[in-house]
Structure 1
Amino acid sequence: MSDIPLIAHFFFSLVATVGFGIFFNSPIQALAPAGITGGLGWCIYILLMKFSSSAIFANFVAAMFVSWVSEYLARKMKHPAILFVIPGIIPLVPGLGLYNTMLYLVQGDYNLAISTGADTFFISGAIALGVLVITSLARTLFLINLRKKMPIKIEKE
C-alpha cells in the first residue's frame, strides 16, 4: 500500500465509488461529486494509517469526512445524503478482513479467525459510528435552525 502514490489511490477509489454509484442507480449529476468524496475519504484513510497505524481510528475519521461532505453536497445539490454516503464509504469497507476471517474459519485456524474477525468488526463499527455521528449532528443542527425560523405562538386564555 505504501508503494502506490497517493494520486493513484485517489483515482482508483474514485473509480470504485463511481462504479458503485452506477450500480446503486445514482443520478448522473451525483456521480462525480460522490466519486471525489470517496476518493478523498480513502486518501484521508491512507494518510492516517501512515501516521497513526490504527485502522479503527483511520476508518472512523475517514467515514466522518465522507459523511460530512455528503451532508454538505446533499444540501447544495438538493439530493438525499445517502446518494453520496453509501458509494463514498465503499472504499473503506474491510472486504479483505471479511474474506480472511472466512478463510481462516474454513482452514480451521480459529484463533486467527477470531482475531481477524474482531478487527474487521471494530473497523466496520468505526465506519458506522463515523457516519452516525455526523448524520445525527447534521440532523440536530437542521432541527435547531428550523425552530429558530419558526415564530413561537403563545395562546392567551
Structure 2
Amino acid sequence: MSSMPLSLHFVFSFICTIGFSIFLSAPKRSLPYAGLIGAIGWVLYVYLFRVTNNPILSNFIPATIVGVASEVFARYLKQPAIVFVIPGIIPLVPGLGMYNTMLYLVQENYELAASTGATALLVGGAISLGILLVTSFVKTINTIKLKKAISSFNHVITKKDSNYENNIMTEDVSLDNDDDNDENYENEK
C-alpha cells in the first residue's frame, strides 16, 4: 500500500467514483453523493489495511459503510440505492488482484496465482457480504413497517365497516319507526 496521504486517496477515489457514476448513467443530482460514498469507502479501506494488513476485513467494513450510506442517500434523494452502491464499491473491487492472478497464470507461477486468486475471491465475497447484510436489514425493516401499515389500515377499514353496518341497522329501525308513525297518523285522521 502506498504512503500517499489519505487526503489524496480521498480526492482520487472521489473523482473515480463520479466517473463510474457518469459511465453508469446515474442522475446528475446523485453524482457528488456517489462520489462521497466511494471516497469514504476507499479511504476507510486504505486506513484499515494500513492498520490491520488484512485485505478481507479491510474490504468488508468499508463495503458495509458504503451500503449504509447508500441506503441513507437513497432515502434522502428519493433514488434507488443501487445508484449509490455500485459506484461506491468500484474503488474496493479487487481488479489488481484479478489482473495479477491472470499474470501469474500466464507466467506459469501457479502457486502465486492460486494465492492471489483466492485472496481476490475472498475480497469480492467480503464486499458482497457487507452490501448484502445492509440491504437485507433495510428490506426486513421496510417489510415490518409495511406489514404494520397494512394491519392498521385493515383495522381502520374493519372499524368503518362495522360502523357502516351499525348505521344501516339504525337506519332500518328508524325507517320502521317512520312506518309506525305513518300508521298512527292515518288512524288519527
The normalised TM-score by structure 2 is: 0.79
Deviations 1:104-132 (A, max 9, x none): 00111111110100000000000011000
Q: How far is 1:2 from its partner?
A: 4.0
In the alignment, structure 2 segments of 5+ residues that lack a partner are 163-189
Distance in 2, Cα, partners of 1:126 & 1:143: 26
Q: How many equivalent pairs are there?
A: 156
Deviations 1:7-57 (A, max 9, x none): 100000000000000000000000000000000001111111122111100
| Aligned structure 1 segments of 4 or more residues deviating by more than 6 angstroms | none
Distance in 1, Cα, partners of 2:144 & 2:58: 30
Alignment of 1:77-156 (within 5 A): 77-150=77-150, 151=152, 152-153=154-155
Distance in 1, Cα, partners of 2:11 & 2:144: 38
Larger Rg: 2
The normalised TM-score by structure 1 is: 0.95
Letter in 1 for 2:62: A
Higher helix share: 2
Cross-structure match for 1:8: 8
What root-mean-square deviation, in Å, do the aligned CA atoms of Structure 1 and Structure 2 show? 1.5
2:46 match: secondary structure: helix
Cross-structure match for 1:21: 21
Cross-structure match for 1:69: 69
Percent identity, aligned pairs only, is 50
Letter in 2 for 1:15: I
| Greater relative contact order structure (CA < 8 Å, 6+ sep) | 1
Distance in 2, Cα, partners of 1:131 & 1:73: 15
1:126 match: secondary structure: helix
Distance in 2, Cα, partners of 1:87 & 1:68: 14
